[in-house]
Amino acid sequence: MKRLLCATLDANIAHSVEVESTFVRALPSFSIVGLAQQSIQESRDRIKAALSSINFNFPAQKITVNLSPSDLPKSGSHFDLGVALLIALQKSNANFGDFYCFGELGLGGSVKSTASIFPIILSLASRLKNLKVVAPHESLELIASIPNVKAYGVKSLEEAVEFFTNPQTQEEKEAKTTHELFKNSMQIAGKTYILNDDFALDFADIKGQAHAKEAMMIASAGMHNVLLEGSPGCGKSMSIKRLLYIMPPLEINEILQNAANRSLGGEGTVFSKLRPFRSPHHTSSRPSIFGGGSNLGAKIGEVALAHNGILFFDEFPHFSKDVLESLREPLEDGRVLISRVNSKICYDTKFIFAAAQNPCPCGNLFSGVKTCKCSDTDILRYKAKISAPLLDRIDIYVQMDESGVEDISDMDSKQMRSLVLKAFKAQKERGQDELNGKMDDGAIERFCVMSGEAEDILKNAAVRFGLSHRGIGKLKKVARTAADLDGAELIEKSHMLKSLKFRHR
């Protein structure tokens, strides 16, 4: 009997699987056991064709392949390579050691990549030290970028057989280079970050709206949730779409996690300096936004795909009540738990929640030129779609004015990003694990240190507006980010007043 290692993905968590094989005297047959789902059972014909390409003759024996542990459901065509190697090298002296083998086989013996290989290896690398993997050559550069992984690439089953029968060839198969994206990096507080210099959408395109641009800088620098309200055409969606390009740089591990999430979502494994930007339509179903599926698992949803980036709800009040109220937990806890009969799956959901809405159903309530045709009842019904608990989780509210023909652009994205980067560095150099908008109560007490004047203003505001504990913390966090943008060590009076200015009333 021989054995090697592979793994299967249970939602977003990889589990190691021992692949065992044995040949016994019996009527010739080939079976795979161990809760192997359809994608693995179908591999038998691919494996037979691939083995024939290297002139392997199946013995007149019963071949049994076992995937252990046998009570763990397993799926994925990436098991092909491991199973084929066990059969091809059953009677050799090859030692598979602690190598993990991944790859789908073509009928001609080629080794192909699959969408699940990268997230599996990333998950394994987070728990195992000195992970060694044999994987398709086409995905070698991506896999080699994962810390704590030694990756070896093979293009065909024949190369994989040579890899294990002739150890001298192993060194030349090892990945020697890193991904091009990681060659230009910067160090902040001892960690490596990849800076984005792409300003495909620029705030220079937005005329006027200085108030909104200031809010966008605060939201970006501290990862604060933001709501823009204004007449159609005033620049709400334009501002939020440009928010992506001024956000703080991503750490390498965050880039890897984003790529894994996209792969789980069926969007391919691509590394990007830009943070995720997800903008589901208001007709999207609840499972598509929060994740869901059969009782055997749950697919990743938009809120998890937006992790480390932005989740944008345009036409905010038009989303279903069920979707809006379900947002409260991911925004508060930074994670979403999807429960099914046979599984419970947790995804991280730390992102900027950005929303845009009109002030009334017709959109002209704030207009100085057009007449609003909505009744008071229509306006109240429209705004009542957004509940107070959900609004309480939004840090920054901006009422945008209509742009005039004489308005000019006073700041572009590059200037705004430089200020955001300064505030980001200040937070990291203070030793914060999370940016200001995602701090918990303990971190707020530690890092949101106020001057006497700022503290007096906050106390007066808490009494006057009847602020909840969450509301007070929200004001402190926004004021902390405003202070960081000014390069101030303490939260001063001006910063607390600015925080109050952006509070939703």
Structure tokens at 41: 């059972």
Residue type, 499: S
Residue 113 has pLDDT above 90, yes or no: yes
248-304: pLDDT as tens digits: 999 999 999 999 999 888 888 889 999 999 999 999 999 999 988 765 567 889 999
Query: What number of other Cβ atoms are within 10 A of residue 309's Cβ?
Result: 24
Query: What number of other Cβ atoms are within 10 A of residue 402's Cβ?
Result: 19
Cα separation, 338 vs 10, whole angstroms: 13
The reported pLDDT for the residue numbered 182 is: 81
Residue 76 exposure: Cα atoms within 13 Å on the Cβ side:
29
155-175: pLDDT as tens digits: 999 999 999 999 888 888 988
The reported pLDDT for the residue numbered 294 is: 62
The single-letter DSSP state of residue 363 is S
Cα separation, 318 vs 280, whole angstroms: 12
What is the percent of the chain where pLDDT is above 70?
Answer: 98
Is 268 in a helix, a strand, or coil?
coil
The reported pLDDT for the residue numbered 12 is: 81
Paired with 355 in beta bridges are 227, 313
Region 114-127: mean pLDDT is 94
Backbone angles phi, psi at 64, to 5 degrees: -120, 130
The reported pLDDT for the residue numbered 178 is: 72
Confidence of residue 198 (pLDDT cuts 50, 70, 90): confident
For the chain, list the domains and their CATH numbers: 2-178 (3.30.230.10), 191-438 (3.40.50.300), 439-505 (1.10.8.60)
Cα separation, 249 vs 260, whole angstroms: 18
DSSP 476-495: HHHHHHHHHHHT-SSB-HHH
432-464: pLDDT as tens digits: 999 999 999 999 999 999 999 999 999 999 999
What's the predicted TM-score (pTM) here?
Answer: 0.90
What is the percent of the chain where pLDDT is above 90?
Answer: 79
Region 240-250: mean pLDDT is 95
CA angle centred on 362, ends 361 and 364, rounded to 5° = 120
DSSP 239-264: HHHHHGGGSPPEEHHHHHHHHHHHHH
Is 72 in a helix, a strand, or coil?
coil
Residue linked to tokens 């071949």: 63
26-48: pLDDT as tens digits: 999 999 999 999 989 999 999 99
CA 118 to chain centre: 14
Confidence of residue 233 (pLDDT cuts 50, 70, 90): confident
Residue linked to tokens 């409260």: 328
What's the first-to-final CA gap in the chain, in angstroms? Answer: 71
Region 214-224: mean pLDDT is 97
Residue 500 has pLDDT above 90, yes or no: yes
Helices 80-88 and 43-52 pack at an angle, to 10 degrees, of 50
CA angle centred on 385, ends 380 and 387, rounded to 5° = 105
Residue 312 has pLDDT above 80, yes or no: yes
Residue 93 has pLDDT above 80, yes or no: yes
Residue 406 has pLDDT above 70, yes or no: no
Residue 87 has pLDDT above 80, yes or no: yes
Cα separation, 64 vs 22, whole angstroms: 6
The reported pLDDT for the residue numbered 184 is: 78
The reported pLDDT for the residue numbered 292 is: 80
Is 352 in a helix, a strand, or coil?
strand
Mark out the alpha helices in 69-129 (DSSP H runs): 80-88, 117-125
Average pLDDT, the chain: 92
Residue type, 162: E
Any idea which of 193-207, 267-281, 400-414 has the lowest mean pLDDT?
400-414
Residue linked to tokens 């703080």: 248
Cα separation, 487 vs 495, whole angstroms: 11
The reported pLDDT for the residue numbered 405 is: 64
**Rg of the chain, C-alpha, whole Å:** 27
Cα separation, 165 vs 21, whole angstroms: 18
Q: How far is the CA of 453 from the CAs of 19, 115, 327, 491, in angstroms?
A: 67, 55, 35, 9
339-378: pLDDT as tens digits: 876 677 889 999 999 999 999 999 999 888 889 999 999 9
